[in-house]
């Protein structure tokens, strides 16, 4: 016990116990003006960054890696940064690739300790209450930010929109925030739907999407109470559109959809064929608008979405998910991280979280992509283990994992082209002649961490 020392005594925290304690005083204003490349200007080096994912827009970080400001990345890489890492640009420190749920697990388990978290907000008040749902730069659900806000030693909210107290709706409360940094603009919301969220126009993949609906119907899943998760890829969007049409025509109502959310899911909610959207990330502007208007469109964290070490992840309640792949092998292992040439060009996202949790997991893909077989003897990188995958739907046939004898029995009663996955592999080879074998060295440039923390696979340096 300590003796009384005044009205506003800073907290004393036992080391390693619980979340960080913060000290505030009545009517405190946490706003500071401006954040730029301050870490680089201060000469601080060997920074580890821990994003959910980095994209082509983050290519400007490469010079900071080259000069030693950044030495380690634990997060998914897309585009130029992935290529840079694949060629050894981040060695000797391998990139750590985690799922959305696995990232929150790593934070909460103490595998990663965040010194400072910078969280974007489309609106925040001077005390630090923040949201992504309203304001000129609204981006929707702030699902990625929750775990960082709860556990980082210091939390900086970055916003272009300071509003009077209290900011509403509140996503992250002021209790988690140390500083509010005002900038000119946090980003362009028009870029949220920049092209990946367009429904496919490829006749082959539209056929694949329709086959997914037939698979779900034949297996008896399409009924009241059905729940699902779909990504923002063109084929997944087509599946959701056809799913909405199916439920509307038959007067059925699905229980919930887990997002990343798109306008196609919002349409189901608005038409009454879906009871609720649980949303951790917006994939287009319609999803942002719906979050602010419909009480049955609810913001959730990625901790709630897919952390396997909780009392109940949302993905563990899903009936179905339909996901994409860069490669699939004859053991139903799925790769979404690397291309067949070995380059690390895509993030993991919630792929494995959804696949493991769902009652039925369907992977959609063309048999070949750009003269490269998608179905292979072995995937270049394992992102999601084959034991979590139930059905592979391609433009040349539907393959069922042998462990799902019930599905195989149901689908064989339909006119769907049900084939062995080995037959799909042989068909792909007959169309392209041979597979691409990557030229790889011995150095590990990245590790794929399974959602519970174990190392699932390694990614090796590409030899130019």
CATH number at residue 67: 3.40.1080.10
**Can you give the pLDDT at residue 121?**
97
Q: What is the pLDDT of residues 325-343, one digit of tens each?
A: 999 999 999 999 999 999 9
Query: H helices within 121-262, ranges in order?
Result: 145-151, 203-218, 234-250
**Can you give the pLDDT at residue 195?**
41
164, 243: one domain: no
365 to 206, 332, 398, 403, 415: CA distances (angstroms) = 11, 13, 10, 21, 20
Q: Is residue 1 part of a domain?
A: no
Q: What percent of the chain has pLDDT over 90?
A: 82
Please give the Cα distance from 255 to 318 (Å, whole number): 10
Q: What percent of the chain has pLDDT over 70?
A: 94
Q: What is the pLDDT of residues 136-154, one digit of tens each?
A: 999 999 999 999 999 999 9
pLDDT top residue among 361 and 234: 361
Q: Is residue 14 part of a domain?
A: no
Q: What is the pLDDT of residues 246-257, one digit of tens each?
A: 999 999 999 999
Q: Is the pLDDT of residue 293 over 70?
A: yes
Q: Is residue 454 part of a domain?
A: no
**Can you give the pLDDT at residue 38?**
66
Q: How far apart are the first and last CA of the chain?
A: 64
- H or E element in which residue 362 lies: strand 360-364
**Can you give the pLDDT at residue 35?**
54
Please give the Cα distance from 334 to 419 (Å, whole number): 18
Q: Is residue 246 part of a domain?
A: yes
229, 140: one domain: no
Q: Is residue 464 part of a domain?
A: no
**Can you give the pLDDT at residue 188?**
78
Kindly state the average pLDDT of the residues 425-450.
93
264, 128: one domain: no
Q: Is residue 193 part of a domain?
A: no
Q: What is the pLDDT of residues 25-46, one digit of tens each?
A: 788 889 987 654 667 677 788 9
Please give the Cα distance from 150 to 173 (Å, whole number): 10
Range name among 133-142, 186-195, 394-403 with the lowest pLDDT average: 186-195
**What is the tally of helices (H) and strands (E) in the chain?**
13, 26
Q: Is the pLDDT of residue 2 over 70?
A: no
Domain containing 265 equals: 203-440
For residue 196, name the pLDDT band (cuts at 50, 70, 90): very low
Query: H helices within 157-312, ranges in order?
Result: 203-218, 234-250, 263-271, 285-293, 302-306
């Amino acid at each position: 016990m300590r003796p009384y020392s005044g009205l506003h005594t800073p907290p004393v925290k036992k080391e390693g116990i619980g979340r960080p304690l913060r000290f505030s005083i009545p009517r405190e204003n946490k706003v500071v003006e401006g954040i730029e490349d301050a870490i680089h200007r201060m000469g601080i080096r060997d920074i580890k960054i821990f994003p959910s994912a980095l994209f082509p827009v983050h290519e400007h970080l490469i010079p900071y890696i080259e000069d030693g400001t950044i030495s380690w990345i634990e997060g998914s890489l897309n585009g130029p940064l992935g290529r840079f890492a694949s060629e050894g640009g981040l060695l000797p420190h391998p990139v750590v690739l985690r799922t959305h749920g696995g990232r929150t697990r790593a934070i909460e388990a103490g595998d990663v300790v965040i010194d400072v978290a910078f969280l974007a907000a489309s609106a925040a008040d001077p005390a630090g209450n923040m949201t992504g749902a309203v304001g000129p730069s609204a981006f929707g659900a702030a699902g990625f930010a929750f775990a960082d806000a709860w556990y980082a030693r210091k939390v900086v909210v970055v916003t272009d929109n300071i509003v009077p107290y209290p900011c509403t709706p509140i996503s992250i409360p002021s209790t988690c925030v140390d500083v509010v940094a005002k900038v000119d603009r946090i980003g362009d919301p028009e870029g949220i739907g920049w092209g990946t969220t367009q429904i496919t126009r490829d006749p082959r993949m539209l056929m694949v999407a329709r086959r997914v609906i037939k698979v779900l119907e034949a297996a008896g899943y399409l009924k009241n109470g059905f729940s699902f998760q779909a990504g923002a890829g063109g084929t997944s969007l087509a599946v959701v559109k056809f799913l909405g049409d199916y439920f509307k025509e038959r007067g059925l109502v699905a229980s919930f959809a887990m997002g990343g959310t798109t306008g196609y899911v919002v349409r189901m909610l608005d038409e009454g064929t879906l009871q609720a959207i649980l949303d951790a990330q917006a994939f287009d502007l319609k999803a942002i608008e719906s979050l602010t208007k419909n009480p049955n469109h609810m913001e959730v964290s990625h901790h709630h979405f897919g952390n396997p070490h909780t009392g109940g992840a949302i993905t563990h309640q899903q009936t179905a998910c339909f996901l994409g792949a860069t490669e699939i092998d004859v053991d139903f292992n799925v790769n979404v991280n690397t291309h067949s040439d070995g380059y690390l060009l895509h993030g993991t996202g919630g792929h494995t979280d959804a696949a493991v949790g769902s009652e039925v997991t369907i992977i959609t893909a063309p048999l070949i992509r750009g003269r490269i077989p998608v179905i292979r003897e072995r995937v270049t990188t394992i992102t999601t283990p084959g034991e979590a995958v139930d059905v592979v739907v391609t433009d040349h046939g539907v393959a069922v994992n042998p462990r799902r004898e019930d599905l195989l029995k149901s689908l064989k009663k339909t006119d769907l082209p049900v084939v062995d996955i080995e037959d799909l592999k042989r068909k792909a080879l007959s169309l392209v002649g041979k597979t691409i074998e990557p030229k790889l060295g011995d150095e590990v440039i990245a590790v794929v961490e399974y959602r519970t923390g174990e190392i699932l696979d390694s990614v090796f340096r590409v030899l130019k």
